[in-house]
A = this chain, B = another copy of it.
Amino acid sequence: MQFTSEQLLDDGICEREFMLGEIPGILWTPASVSAPVPLILLGHPPLGLRTMYPRLAGRARHAAAAGFAAATIELPGSGDRPRWAAVEQARADLRRAVEAGEPVGDELIDALVLPLVEKSVPEWQAALDALLSLPEIGGPVGYSGGVISIGIRLAGVEPRIAAAGLFAGSLVPAVMFEEARRVTIPLHVLLQWDDEGNDRQAALDLFDAFGSKEKALHAHMGGHTGVPQFAGEDAAGFFARHLR
């Protein structure tokens, strides 16, 4: 992991951009800490880190206020990373289906999501190796948000992740319901009750499928981008309980 830039934000948070091989990423560490801190991995939709930066930096500030570091990496095929023809094709097919008012079939959902899960999860794990080798970062580690199937896979296969906050806001391949049953870490799941791009019953079924003994579903009114600010405070409480 090579740090490529460093700046102090106005609230004393240190923001460093890095390259993990060919993968760009950002690490935020809280101001003036004396001992290694817990870490929250910030998931995000595949829109590119530059596009997502304001929201990611806002979430990182909340993490830092709780005494946690936060980090994220670019998803394959997004931002400054090379285009990925197969996934771009699936996205174009999805747009076409949605605009034509056609149902989004299982094959299309699989083509859209599964390659992203396959490729990105090992990258997040490599990032975790690098981040946990830094003296200022200790653990435990939480994962938060982004493409929920990536969160499901990571929560199931990566034992260093102690708790996950997931957003039931994207299409989920049927196979991920099986993987959800094998997830046992504490979960905090957000659902937007009127999410235009998401099937409410499927989201409730997914919540039901998770094997975790401690899981909470927080459903709020409104569409995909309408998550209320206080939902962030409840999620902060969840991570504070599990990462401290």
CB contacts (< 8 Å) of A213 on chain B: these are: 221
A214 contacts the other chain (CB 8 A): yes
A28 contacts the other chain (CB 8 A): no
Which of B215, B220, B234, B237 is within 8 Å of A221, CB to CB? B215
Which of B208, B214, B217 is within 8 Å of A218, CB to CB? B217
**CA gap between A212 and B238 in the complex, in Å:** 26
CB–CB B237/A241 < 8 A = no
Minimal Cβ-Cβ distance residue in B for A189: B219
A193 contacts the other chain (CB 8 A): yes
**CA gap between A208 and B214 in the complex, in Å:** 24
Chain B nearest CB: distance from A85 CB in Å? 40
Minimal Cβ-Cβ distance residue in B for A234: B234
> How would residues 220 to 244 of chain A score, 1 for a CB under 8 Å from any chain B CB and 0 otherwise?
1100000010110110011001000
A216 contacts the other chain (CB 8 A): yes
CB–CB A219/B237 < 8 A = no
A207 contacts the other chain (CB 8 A): yes
Minimal Cβ-Cβ distance residue in B for A210: B221
**CA gap between A228 and B241 in the complex, in Å:** 12
A204 contacts the other chain (CB 8 A): yes
Task: Assess A219 versus B220: contact at CB under 8 Å? Given A204-B204, A233-B237.
Answer: no
Interface size of A by CB at 8 A reads 22
CB–CB A208/B193 < 8 A = yes
CB contacts (< 8 Å) of A215 on chain B: these are: 220-221
> How would residues 184 to 213 of chain A score, 1 for a CB under 8 Å from any chain B CB and 0 otherwise?
000000000100000000001001100011
Which of B219, B233, B237 is within 8 Å of A207, CB to CB? B219
**CA gap between A241 and B233 in the complex, in Å:** 12
Which of B219, B233, B238 is within 8 Å of A217, CB to CB? B219
CB contacts (< 8 Å) of A228 on chain B: these are: 214, 216
Chain B nearest CB: distance from A237 CB in Å? 6
CB contacts (< 8 Å) of A212 on chain B: these are: 221
Task: Assess A220 versus B230: contact at CB under 8 Å? Given A193-B208, A208-B193.
Answer: no
**CA gap between A214 and B226 in the complex, in Å:** 11
A residues neighboring B (CB under 8 Å): 193, 204, 207-208, 212-221, 228, 230-231, 233-234, 237-238, 241
Minimum-distance CB pairs A-B, first 6: A217-B219, A234-B234, A216-B220, A218-B218, A215-B221, A233-B237
